[in-house]
Amino acid sequence: MAGKVISLKTTQEWEEQLQMGKEPQKLVVIDFSATWCGPCRLMSPVLDELAGQHPQVTFLKVDVDDLRSVAQQWGVEAMPTFVVMKEGKVVERFSGADKDKLIQLVTKHLNQ
């Protein structure tokens, strides 16, 4: 699945991906979004492009309507919300369709 955005549909898939994200030097970018969210649709191609450029990074997409419990557990109140994790720990989080910020954060944490 390297080089692609992984759309999660079940809490089991979510838990499995979080567990794999704890590996040493592993970078995970989570996109909390919704199909009805215009700004989310704008960011989707950006996420796809980043996934293609950085196959060593795991890019996850969580539809807040499909996985409400996960979105609530993570305190997602606006979409899109992006969470960047390194070795299983949250290192960055922001809401909004900010392409440049997302690219900057991925690059920053890849190089650390």
Radius of gyration of the chain (CA): 13
CB neighbours (10 Å) of residue 32?
Answer: 26
Report pLDDT for 58: 95
Q: Which domain holds residue 13?
A: 5-110
Report pLDDT for 80: 98
Report pLDDT for 2: 55
Element (H, E) at 32: strand 27-33
Enter the pTM of the model. 0.94
Non-local (6+) Cβ contacts of 37 within 8 A are: 79, 80
Report pLDDT for 51: 96
Report pLDDT for 111: 83
Residue 37 annotated to the active site:
yes
Catalytic residue among 8, 29, 34, 37: 37
Catalytic residue among 8, 28, 34, 40: 40
Mean pLDDT by 10 residues, the chain (112 residues): 85 95 94 96 95 95 97 96 96 97 95 82
Tell me the C-alpha distance between 42 and 56, whole Å: 23
Residue 86 annotated to the active site:
no
Split into its structural domains, the chain has a count of: 1
Query: What is the number of alpha carbons within 13 Å of residue 110 lying toward its C-beta?
Result: 15
Here the CATH number for the domain that contains residue 11 is 3.40.30.10
